[in-house]
Structure 1
Amino acid sequence: MCAAIVGALLVERPADVEEGFSQQAPLVYHYGHSTPGTNATLYNVLVSRLAEVINQRAESNKKASISGVIINTCGWVKGTGYKAITHAALAFEVDVVLVLDQERLYNELVRDMPGFVKVVFTPKSGGVVERSKSMRSETRDSRVKEYFYGLKTPLYPHSFDVKFSDVKLYKIGAPSLPDSCMPLGMKAEDNFTKLVPVPLGPNVLHHILSVSFATSSDEDILQTNVAGFICV
């Protein structure tokens, strides 16, 4: 899967030593940022949507329903990052939380999680080091390259032209406004999930765009999963 998304993958067999888990037909939603803190409201909306769809699919997949879900949250554990972790736990109604080498986080989750949730502290393996900011950036870049070219470059991306009239481009999130300037009945946080049309032109060059499964702008594009990604 590409970077800057919120997604899930159905795991039906052990991971390949080199290529990892099979990524056929993943469930992916467009987020568009490298950290949850850039638009925490949107991030939490997408996590809730992901949990909702996974629960629906589990109802028709007995094996998946019984085997459960493993959720890998981000490593940001303070402030908004902590709220994102607890939001994911509540959205998916988890019953076990594993905390890796973060004693303070462990104590906070023991305090804040519902009584039925078992919080387990797991020590870090010897020799494991934290990834630097530059290393995380390189990892994201490699994921984008792997999406288009494959792990061992077996894929051959190709270019094609489309008419501007055939494309509708949106970004998610509008500039914040003071409460006095907000339309009646609208809250300030609504701007974080607002779809804003983007004019097509040189401004979209060198961008990665998500292609939505939505067939018209009348659909809820924000909560519709994406078919794939293109590079402009």
Structure 2
Amino acid sequence: MSVTKADEKGIDHSVVKDFKLAKDNELRFEVETNQRVKLVLLDGSAELFGTELVHSRSYIFESGAKIAVFTWFGCSIRLTGKNEAAYVSKDTPMIIYLNTHAACEQMRKTADQEDIRGPRIMVVGPQDVGKSTVCRILLNYSVRMGRKTTLLDLDVGQGGVSIPGTVGALTVERPADPVDGFELKVPLVYHFGHTSPNGNIKLYETLISRLADVFNAKCDYNRLIKHSGCVINTCGWIKGQGYQCLLHAAQSFEADVVIVLDSERLYNDLKRDLPDFVNIILQPKSPGVVERPRDVRRDYRDSKIKEYFYGPRKIYFPHAFDVSFQDVELFKIGAPSLPDSCLPLGVEQEDTHTKLVPVTPGRDLVHHILSLSMAESLDENLIETNVAGFVVVTNVDVDNQVFSVLSPAPRPLPRRYFLIMDTRFIDINK
């Protein structure tokens, strides 16, 4: 892929630095705010989170990117542009991750020979320990061996398969692009609507069970996917109800390998509560992992939503159009519970956490993201039906009974049922 001068716009070419890496070393750097950095592999071999870099190709990273380039045999790298704290480190857990991959690959070979399911690997740990990165490394290594391993993303705060506020699955067939990540080809996505499981625990566990059922059915249908197994990325909420969600996920997906990053207490709790056949492994986080403040996490979520509509580097042009109130039906999942004192004597509280509540569009809908359900009628379970995509409401005209949306695809809408997210997105590009 050639890089044009337009692609290099925003790169400070007066800042150029070459790095010589010895074998088993790692180059780490962060791209400064409102800056871009170009990376070129001059000689030798190197990889970025498990993806091999191509010699002499330019890789351009955007503002805020946190990058770690590892070499097994030594290499030279040139960085062009302003970056924060670029340095080479010998202290890296990559050998540990490679050994983990080798053990999982042996399980896949056994699965091939005996026609049994491959390893189901769940990666757990607190916030900002590098769970998503470890998942990416393990997936990249497996597909480089010719596997079709499935990424199951339960981290509703970050959105590895789709936008934040969703859970989803993606069958990975080729290594991730060093800049743009995995090719999001036909992902399976379910609406959750919140950026933390505690937004609706009951709904979160329902979706985990649904995702597990769909993945098991796909394994029954496709042997290669069955033998390749899966990698499960989880949220960083590991205490109280968050811990119960981890146990529910491990049980639903029948995980047989659990990698615990940087939490000895979580490791011991899982050793106590999970069956003996589950291999529970405590591994260190990379010293290069950076803790992100709340505002940085919020900005990252906004950037993921923006990328959904405008593509990486704003290469897409989303559509804006009006939708009539009569053409669609809007629902919110979950309703407030009545106090026990308001219930008749002897009547038990109804579980309202997964109840569909019809919503009439109003001005308070502006900036909310809507998930377009694939359900063709209300006879289907909207909660457990995957979504076709998302729109964001930019205006509501109550007098004319229409609302305006930003959409990645032109009208007409393929379905009529929308689910409302708590997540909001203000489109500053309009």
Which bin holds the TM-score, normalised by the shorter protein? over 0.9
Q: Does 1:146 align with 2:307?
A: yes
**1:162 Cα deviation after fit:** 2.0
**1:12 Cα deviation after fit:** 0.8
Give 2:366's aligned residue. Answer: 205
When residues 31 and 183 of structure 1 are mapped into structure 2, their CA distance, relative to the original with a 3 A threshold, is: farther
1:59-208 equivalences in 2 (<5 Å): 59-179=220-340, 181=343, 187-188=349-350, 190-208=351-369
1:47-62 equivalences in 2 (<5 Å): 47-62=208-223
Q: C-alpha distance in 1, partners of 2:338/2:301?
A: 32
**1:76 Cα deviation after fit:** 0.9
Give 2:380's aligned residue. Answer: 219
Contact 2:175 2:182 survives alignment (8 Å): yes
Compare relative contact order (CA 8 Å, sep 6+) and give the higher one, 1 or 2: 1
> Unpaired runs of 5+ in structure 1?
none
Q: C-alpha distance in 2, partners of 1:153/1:57?
A: 34
Deviations 1:116-138 (A, max 9, x none): 11100001112323222222211
Give 2:168's aligned residue. Answer: 7
> Relative to structure 2, which stretch is displaced further, 56-65 or 112-121?
56-65
Deviations 1:46-72 (A, max 9, x none): 011011111111211211111111000
- Where 1:144 maps in the other structure, the secondary structure is helix
**TM-score for the superposition, normalised by structure 2:** 0.52
Contact 2:343 2:349 survives alignment (8 Å): no
- Where 2:313 maps in the other structure, the secondary structure is coil
| Paired residue type of 1:76 | W
> Relative to structure 2, which stretch is displaced further, 103-112 or 132-141?
132-141
Q: C-alpha distance in 1, partners of 2:378/2:272?
A: 43
| Paired residue type of 2:309 | F
Q: C-alpha distance in 1, partners of 2:345/2:303?
A: 42
When residues 103 and 227 of structure 1 are mapped into structure 2, their CA distance, relative to the original with a 3 A threshold, is: same
> Relative to structure 2, which stretch is displaced further, 56-65 or 206-215?
56-65
> Relative to structure 2, which stretch is displaced further, 104-113 or 134-143?
134-143
When residues 182 and 51 of structure 1 are mapped into structure 2, their CA distance, relative to the original with a 3 A threshold, is: farther
- Where 1:227 maps in the other structure, the secondary structure is strand
Deviations 1:67-99 (A, max 9, x none): 111000001110111111111111100000000
| Paired residue type of 1:142 | S
Q: C-alpha distance in 1, partners of 2:270/2:349?
A: 30
Q: Does 1:26 align with 2:26?
A: no
When residues 153 and 112 of structure 1 are mapped into structure 2, their CA distance, relative to the original with a 3 A threshold, is: same
When residues 103 and 206 of structure 1 are mapped into structure 2, their CA distance, relative to the original with a 3 A threshold, is: same
Point out the structure with the larger helix share. 1
Q: C-alpha distance in 2, partners of 1:21/1:186?
A: 47
| Paired residue type of 2:343 | C
Q: C-alpha distance in 2, partners of 1:130/1:84?
A: 23
> In the comparison of the two structures, how many residue pairs are matched?
231
**TM-score for the superposition, normalised by structure 1:** 0.95
**1:110 Cα deviation after fit:** 0.5
- Where 1:160 maps in the other structure, the secondary structure is strand
Contact 2:163 2:308 survives alignment (8 Å): yes
When residues 113 and 18 of structure 1 are mapped into structure 2, their CA distance, relative to the original with a 3 A threshold, is: same
Q: C-alpha distance in 2, partners of 1:184/1:47?
A: 33
> Unpaired runs of 5+ in structure 2?
1-161, 394-430
- Where 1:23 maps in the other structure, the secondary structure is coil
When residues 88 and 62 of structure 1 are mapped into structure 2, their CA distance, relative to the original with a 3 A threshold, is: same
The structure with more radius of gyration: 2
> Relative to structure 2, which stretch is displaced further, 145-154 or 221-230?
145-154
| Paired residue type of 2:187 | P
**1:201 Cα deviation after fit:** 2.5
Deviations 1:152-192 (A, max 9, x none): 2111111112221110000000001234628998654x211
When residues 171 and 113 of structure 1 are mapped into structure 2, their CA distance, relative to the original with a 3 A threshold, is: same
